[in-house]
């Protein structure tokens, strides 16, 4: 497949690029600063952009089988500016006049529904997390609203707390919900899950919860 990856210098974005190249896909990595991007490969094209001009991004997304986005807030201050929603809006505008319709983005588990059977302690912890990271999840909910209003065949992959462990390919997945008592997932496995949804029609226009 021909894939474009936004947020390719981030932890999840770089993993998407590495795994996609390893699977034999052709990848266009959209980055703001190529000096921060260390992945290499014969099927890799690096496209420099700060996403400020969606029209300039048409060439990065046109004719691709899918677009994957690791875009999001790096910290709570970024989230307060609505960065995930704003950058995703630029991606959507770039895709509008093209033939590319498949879009897979990373969101977060608290944006999805509380799983059935969730214990009292888990619900209390979730309430605390939602309170502390309110701006982050408000931003991600706005991002998902942008997706829902778009003409794309989108999927929002929603992991819980992220870690930097190696890819395993072994995790639970719930379409339209979240795995009960799902507390962590490696960034590498988030990337694995995102790539796995690209050609899965059951995940189109759905949030997908993933966790160990």
pLDDT given for residue 136 in this prediction? 85
Q: Please state, in angstroms and rounded to a whole number, the distance separating the CA atoms of residues 189 and 194.
A: 8
- Farthest-apart Cα atoms in the chain, separation: 51
Q: What are phi and psi of 172, to 5 degrees?
A: -90, 150
For residue 53, give both structure tokens.
């001009």
Q: Please state, in angstroms and rounded to a whole number, the distance separating the CA atoms of residues 132 and 134.
A: 6
Q: What is the pLDDT along the chain (212 residues), one digit of tens a residue?
A: 999 999 999 999 999 999 999 999 999 999 999 999 999 999 999 999 989 898 999 999 999 999 999 998 666 666 567 889 999 999 999 999 999 999 999 999 999 987 766 665 565 555 556 555 667 889 999 999 999 999 999 999 999 999 999 999 999 999 999 999 899 999 999 999 999 999 999 999 999 999 99
Strand pairing category for 66-69 and 44-48: unpaired
pLDDT given for residue 72 in this prediction? 85
Nearest to 171 by CA among 186, 161, 157: 186
* DSSP helix/strand/coil, 10: coil
Residue with tokens 């260390």: 38
- What residue ranges define each of the domains in the chain, with the CATH number in brackets? 2-211 (3.40.50.720)
Q: Please state, in angstroms and rounded to a whole number, the distance separating the CA atoms of residues 32 and 189.
A: 24
Three-state SS sequence of 164-192 = CCCCCCCCEEEECCCCCCCCEEEHHHHHH
Q: Please state, in angstroms and rounded to a whole number, the distance separating the CA atoms of residues 83 and 89.
A: 10
Q: Please state, in angstroms and rounded to a whole number, the distance separating the CA atoms of residues 202 and 181.
A: 23
């Amino acid at each position: 497949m021909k894939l474009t990856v936004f947020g390719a210098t981030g932890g999840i974005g770089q993993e998407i690029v590495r795994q996609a190249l390893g699977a034999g896909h052709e990848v266009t990595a959209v980055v703001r600063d190529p000096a921060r991007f260390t992945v290499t490969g014969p099927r890799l094209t690096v496209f420099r952009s700060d996403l400020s001009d969606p029209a300039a991004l048409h060439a990065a997304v046109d004719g691709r089988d899918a677009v994957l986005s690791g875009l999001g807030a790096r910290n709570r201050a970024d989230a307060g500016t609505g960065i995930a929603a704003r950058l995703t809006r630029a991606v959507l505008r770039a895709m509008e006049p093209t033939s590319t319709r498949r879009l897979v983005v990373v969101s977060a588990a608290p944006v999805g529904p509380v799983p059935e059977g969730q214990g009292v302690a888990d619900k209390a912890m979730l309430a605390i997390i939602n309170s502390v990271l309110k701006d982050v999840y408000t931003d991600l909910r706005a991002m998902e609203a942008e997706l829902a209003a778009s003409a794309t065949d989108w999927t929002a992959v929603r992991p819980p707390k992220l870690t930097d462990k190696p890819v395993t390919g072994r995790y639970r997945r719930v379409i339209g919900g979240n795995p009960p008592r799902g507390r962590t997932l490696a960034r590498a496995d988030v990337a694995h899950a995102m790539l796995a949804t690209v050609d899965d029609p059951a995940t189109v226009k759905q949030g997908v919860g993933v966790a160990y």
